[in-house]
Amino acid sequence: MPKKKKKTLSKATAAKYQKIPVFQGTIGRFPRAMREIATVSVFGANKHQVPMGDMSYLDVPDAENVYLNAESRHLVAEVIEGPANHEDGELLHKAQKAWNALADLEVYLSNSTET
């Protein structure tokens, strides 16, 4: 699969990003949630036999629908089965929903011309 070209940021956009408190706005506010999402990432990388740094999830055909559907499946499964996903190493459905929501957002942003 061909590698995506790295986007270069304009000076104005780069300056804006320097002002965004990424750590304080994510890990600092949601440390437990971010740890659970990272656990889902590791599990998924192992399950799909891809290295952790592999970004091929961005290139999945019809990625936005794939991740929206997966998020919805975990929503339904949580209601039916409870919080733990017994088929996926007792991961929390909430964390799997969150991972899929982040994947969907990342796909959108990486395809957007505004980033």
The pLDDT value recorded for residue 115 is 44
Residue 60 is given by DSSP the state S
Kindly report, residue by residue over 58-87, the tens digit of the pLDDT: 889 999 999 999 999 999 999 999 999 999
Identify the helix (H) or strand (E) that includes residue 55: none
- Give the start-to-end residue ranges of the domains of the chain: 21-111
Of the candidates 68, 76, 63, the one whose C-alpha atom is nearest the C-alpha of residue 107 is 63
Is the model's pLDDT at 95 over the cut of 60? yes
Please give the Cα distance from 89 to 38 (Å, whole number).
14
Is the model's pLDDT at 101 over the cut of 70? yes
Rounded to the nearest 5°, which phi and psi values hold at 85? -90, 100
Single-letter amino acid, residue 103:
A
Q: Which residues contact 80 (CB under 8 A, 6 or more apart)?
A: none
Is the model's pLDDT at 2 over the cut of 60? no
Is the model's pLDDT at 45 over the cut of 50? yes
The pLDDT value recorded for residue 56 is 87
Token pair listed for 48: 């799909």
Average the pLDDT over each of 2-6, 77-81, 91-95 and give the range with the smallest value: 2-6
Instruction: Give mean pLDDT, residues 17-40.
Output: 92
Task: Provide the whole-model pTM.
Answer: 0.80
